[in-house]
Amino acid sequence: MGRDVKVKPILILGVGNKLLKDEGVGVHFIEALQKQKLPSDVEVEDGGARGIDLLALIRGRKLVIIVDAARMGKSPGTVRTFEPAEIIEKHTRGFSVHGASLADTLKIGEHLGLLPDIVIVGVEPETVEIEIGLSDTVAKSMKKIQKLVDKIIRERTSSGAS
């Protein structure tokens, strides 16, 4: 009952809800990446707010980079990385600002032995209100996100995103 389709080893996964302003930063980032030429071993996916369904997307990968809005208590637009264990330990609720908990999804994936190498790129939202589009502050963080994602790919694999 497994997938017959061969998956690319590297997945960049944007999660969030575009209807809630900065909560959609991960999805907006994926939309920007889809317009770029990417290495042949890299796939990008809009994970939306799918929660537990994300496990089907990450299964069988070598590296997964998840981009999501994250309340970190930092200045809006701050970008930093998290390892899954950090989120699982500290944030069983509340890390992700959308309804489906990323921490819960990672915890279940870990329990089932489905997690590949995962890095979460968290972006501090300025506002999470019903409105489409990003705040100027978070929109300006897109280049920082791109540079960080490129660095993660370079450091954790032999591939380099452009």
Domain annotation for the chain: domains and CATH numbers = 10-155 (3.40.50.1450)
Per-residue pLDDT of 65-107, as tens digits, reads: 999 999 999 999 999 999 998 888 776 544 444 444 788 888 8
Q: Give me the amino acid identity at 55.
A: L
Provide φ and ψ at 23, rounded to 5°: -60, -25
Spatial neighbors of 102 by CB under 8 A, at least 6 apart, are 15, 51, 66, 68, 87, 95, 96, 120
pLDDT of 102-150, one tens digit each? 888 888 888 888 899 999 999 999 999 999 999 999 999 999 999 999 9
Residues 126 and 135: beta-carbon distance below 8 Å: yes
